[in-house]
Amino acid sequence: MGVPTRSIVRAGLIGGVAAIFIALVGLYTKFATLELVGEQITLGRLMIVAPALVAAYAVTRPRIVAGERRVVSLRDGLIAGALTGLGTGIVFAAGTWFADLFGVDRIREVFISVTDELIAFLTFDKGIPGGLVILIVICIVGGVVGGFVRTAPEPIRKPAAVGVLAVLLFGLLQRIVPIALVELGYDADWLYRAGSGLTVLGGVVVFAVAAIADILWNRGGRRLKDRVRQTTETAPAARLGLFLVLVAILAILPLLLGSVISETLGQVMIYVLLGLGLNIVVGYAGLLDLGYVAFFAFGAYTTGLLTGAFLNTTTGAAQPALSADLNFYVAVWIVALLAAGLGLLIGAPVLRLRGDYLAIVTLGLGEIVSVITASKWAQPLIGGPQGMRGVTKAEIFGLNPQDNPQHFYYLALAFVLLAAFVSWRLSTSRIGRAWTAMREDEQVADATGISTTKFKLLAFAMGGAIGSLGGALFAVSIGSLTPASFEITVSITALAVVILGGLGSIPGVVVGALVLIGLPGLLREFEDYRPLIYGGALVAIMILRPQGLIPNVRRTRELAEEEVAQDAWAGGGPSGEGEAVAAVVPGGSLGGEREDLE
Amino acid sequence: MATVTGQRAPGSQLGLLERLPWRKIILVVLSALILLVVVVGSYKTLTLPADERYTATTWKNFVTLGLAQGAIIALIALGYTLVYGILRMINFAHGEVFMFGAYTSFFFSDAWEQSGFLDSNPWLSMALLIVIAMIASMIVALLLERIAYRPLRNAPRLVPLITAIGASLFLSNTARGFFGAQSRGYGVPDVLSGSWTILGVEVNRIQLVVLITVIVAVVALSLFVSRTTTGKSMRAVAADSEIASLMGIKVDRVIVITFAIGGLLAGIAAVLFSITFESVSFSMGFRPGIAAFTAAVLGGIGSIYGAALGGVLLGLLQSVGPALVLTGYGIPSSFQLKDAFTFLVLVLVLIFRPGGLLGSGEAEKV
């Protein structure tokens, strides 16, 4: 038997509990009607399959038995997957049945998501005994798919997985792709149903195209990629060309996507800026800053004050105690400079603190800023709880970023490019190497003559300046500032963006912001669940893939070395955490598991 | 430990910038400023014209409220301090462990209030509520340890911290999804409203109950840690987990027990907090959690009595501080800034005395 029975039972149980968790937290009811492909495949229904699929995928992973890595065969994988799905389905169905027996109304006094609609959704409108059987069968199918995705031969499973992911992505992007196609002059009504997800035909086509593309890529694409890489490495002009092409694509994006989506993209850009700034502090210099919202708030409010915004009061508008009447493009540099100063001010007293203590102190400083912005004490200067409005004067070259999301996108893009350029140059410079050295071992760095004081302060100042630009942009985009926009969630979201993308990686920040801000922004249904997803994502990334989606090359190497060192320790150590060590080997979740030899 | 700049010989190639002890200068200026602000503010508050001044009763109320709140903070702080002592990690999600205890007990309290059980058997129902909250918080703490922290036992130190932050966000929003976004009113038995007169002094009933419960819990905990075998192994692991494991102590088991105890204490604190503020909500864990962490650091993280002392001090500081220092400057609604006070204390303690009041003052942990 390829997979130990105990593991299967455990995975089934965990899958079932996870499914019940998803039901209680309200995700099923929220996404029950979000159609992805045709009328039948909704996001909610995929979420029914997901726990079984993931559990089966996890349970059929290669294991290390007696020092030998054993891959599960396809037959064993399918059987184990089906059994895991069966376990998940039974637990899930039992939970649903219990809810019905006990009384939905009584449970709802505690768990507000348990409704008759939820039960009907989970039983596919077929009533209790019949619907539960369908539920179990669906879970078994999910388990089989999970086992298949893990254990099928590489040339089959990879194109299949890529195809499914592409369908999922196109389904989720149902509010972008059709609009973009129409803007391009192509009416894609065979691909998407009006105001809904893909058509069945569309789904099949997307799947086929993606799968074939993946196969072709494996045949010849690798060579092409290598050649491109070689050319760009040897000829700087080629690299510049590639970069310009990328910028050109970014520049025409809002024209294709219309104003609603440009607005989301603008928000993404703000978080790219925040991510780039935080990346300098956390990714390059290794200083975990949890109070980054301080710079965001500082940038936004200072921009407001410098561009002549006025305070909201109960009786109308009032002049702030301190204000100037500058043009935004003048003000923003002053803001950045002041924020760099604030960075020094915050950085100086906390210099000697390391690691988690630094994190908590910066968290405290960030909270002080949010508490003060919301207090009545701050009323005469920045409006306190009522906030301020009328941030203006951002018109330039006939563009009006304040009223037109597409124009705002260009403004944000310019700032992002600037910040990305600065980060990139910094990371490859002497300063960047000093930061790396400091991050790796502060004492050694100090001993080799790097002034850690100076470089830490520099990191805080640079990070602060870029973060304040994010705040300035935010002030322009929204025009009015209230304390509710400047809470700890901003710090944590920015951190999640940096960590999801990969610490120290500039493309990673962009991808992180697109995934964490862009996707939920496009599907309004996600709005309430954003923090839940961010929190879950932070935990999952730290456990499964600490180097992020697009890892920084050097960082990956370091993590690998750390794991090797720990592996050596854990192997000889008492707690035997081999399982955890194997799971965080860079390159993904394909690490083996040490089985207990009982 | 000498400062980083102090270790280097003042060579001629170093600029003026590097030769001056900037850190010390900034710290001295900062502390002088803070002292000045506090003294002037207190003086101004106390010498306000008689009609604007707080009365003696108000001050007494501030102090008793501060004591009660501080006692609750101390209970949560014990959870931080125990886990930090053993794992050297900040269990950022501990505030959410507390929140789940409060919410779980709320549903029972709510049902009992409607059935009249809460008022007919007030003491029994309070005791039961505390037990329920303890169990709920313990379960959440154990799940947290098993799912989020155990896989990262040997990871670099920032990794578990980031995980803990994620877990905190995840748990509070789980509660939001489970129980809804609005806060709910927490019923208090009639017996506990109003005040008792003890030896001629009027004492708020809830505050007295809170204080007594906390004292019992802290004494019980310290007896457990100092007298039992399990307590001894906890201390051994805190001192050196590798050596402890060589001595035959099951480190993983001790860690689980530590999280369980932290959860139990948070459960007690949850009920006391809920009857004090008479409401529960999904976000109720964050601020008390940070305050409790501050208290643990203030008292000297890793020390049980330190956490208790830090909690009480912080509670007093939160309730008396803003009124005493800020009112004199004519700052409106100074209580709004009470959390800023918490954080300021945290920052100052970490900068000036990172070992805490009862800690050894060493910088190694920092």
What is the tens place of the pLDDT at every residue in A347-374?
Answer: 877 777 777 778 888 888 888 888 888 7
Work out the pLDDT band at A559, boundaries 50, 70, 90: low
d(CA A410, CA A413): 5
**Binding-face residues of B in 87-126 toward A, CB within 8 A:** 89-90, 107
For residue B300, which of B366, B255, B216 has the smallest C-alpha distance? B366
Residues from chain B contacting residue A488 (CB–CB below 8 Å) = 286
- Please indicate if any CB of chain A lies within 8 Å of the CB of B166: yes
Report the pLDDT averaged over residues B43-59. Answer: 75
What chain B residue is nearest to A442 in terms of C-alpha separation? Answer: B4
Pairing of strands A593-594, A63-65: parallel
Pairing of strands A310-313, A316-318: antiparallel
Work out the pLDDT band at B18, boundaries 50, 70, 90: low
What is the tens place of the pLDDT at every residue in A442-458?
Answer: 788 888 877 778 888 88
- Please indicate if any CB of chain A lies within 8 Å of the CB of B27: yes
Query: Taking CB atoms and an 8 Å limit, are B161 and A288 in contact across chains?
Result: yes
**Binding-face residues of B in 139-158 toward A, CB within 8 A:** 147-148, 150-158
Query: Taking CB atoms and an 8 Å limit, are B162 and A492 in contact across chains?
Result: no
Q: What is the ipTM of this complex?
A: 0.82
- Please indicate if any CB of chain A lies within 8 Å of the CB of B167: yes
Query: Taking CB atoms and an 8 Å limit, are B158 and A377 in contact across chains?
Result: no
Residues from chain A contacting residue B179 (CB–CB below 8 Å) = 110-112
Tokens for B75?
A: 């209970």
* Chain B interface mutation, best of A29, A371, A530, highest count of B Cβ atoms under 10 Å: A371
Pairing of strands A63-65, A68-70: antiparallel
**Residue A300: count of CB within 10 angstroms of its CB:** 28
Domain positions in chain A: 1-152, 154-217, 253-514
- Please indicate if any CB of chain A lies within 8 Å of the CB of B365: yes
Query: Taking CB atoms and an 8 Å limit, are A26 and B339 in contact across chains?
Result: no
d(CA B120, CA B301): 42
d(CA B63, CA B80): 25
- Please indicate if any CB of chain A lies within 8 Å of the CB of B343: yes
Query: Taking CB atoms and an 8 Å limit, are B346 and A569 in contact across chains?
Result: no
Residue A254 scores a pLDDT above 80:
no
**Binding-face residues of A in 135-174 toward B, CB within 8 A:** none
- Please indicate if any CB of chain A lies within 8 Å of the CB of B252: yes
Tokens for A122?
A: 């989970």
**Binding-face residues of A in 108-127 toward B, CB within 8 A:** 109-113
Nearest to A499 among B89, B162, B180 (CB): B162
**Binding-face residues of A in 192-231 toward B, CB within 8 A:** none
Q: Which of A149-158, A353-362, A550-559, B225-234 has the lowest mean pLDDT?
A: A550-559
Work out the pLDDT band at A222, boundaries 50, 70, 90: low
Residues from chain A contacting residue B331 (CB–CB below 8 Å) = 376-377
Nearest to A575 among B30, B251, B344 (CB): B251
Work out the pLDDT band at A567, boundaries 50, 70, 90: very low
String of b and e for A455-474 (b: at least 16 CB within 10 Å)?
bbbbbbbbbbbbbbbbbbbb
d(CA B338, CA A347): 24
CA dist B164 → A545, B152, B278 (Å): 16, 11, 28
* Residue B305 confidence (pLDDT): 83
Residue A554 scores a pLDDT above 80:
no
User: Does residue B185 sit in helix, strand or coil?
Assistant: strand
Work out the pLDDT band at A420, boundaries 50, 70, 90: confident
Residues of chain B with pLDDT > 70, as a percent, come to: 88
**Binding-face residues of A in 363-402 toward B, CB within 8 A:** 363-365, 367-368, 371-372, 374-377, 379
CA angle A260, A265, A269 (to 5 degrees): 150
Q: Does domain A253-514 have CATH number 3.30.70?
A: no
For residue A36, which of A206, A169, A212, A204 has the smallest C-alpha distance? A169
A574 against B302, higher pLDDT: B302
Q: Map tokens 């992805």 to a residue.
A: A36
Average pLDDT over chain A reads 79
Rounding to the nearest 10 degrees, give the CA dihedral for residues A354, B261, B96, B336. -70
Query: Taking CB atoms and an 8 Å limit, are B166 and A496 in contact across chains?
Result: yes
* Residue B171 confidence (pLDDT): 92
Tokens for A378?
A: 């701050």
* Residue A232 confidence (pLDDT): 64
Nearest to A453 among B4, B159, B350 (CB): B4
Residue A576 scores a pLDDT above 60:
no
d(CA A463, CA A455): 12
Residues from chain A contacting residue B5 (CB–CB below 8 Å) = 453
Contact B140, B97 (CB under 8 A): yes
Contact B290, B342 (CB under 8 A): yes
Pairing of strands A388-389, A480-481: antiparallel
String of b and e for A48-79 (b: at least 16 CB within 10 Å)?
bbbbbbbbbbbbbbbbbeeeeeebbebebbbb
Class of domain B58-180+189-352: mainly alpha
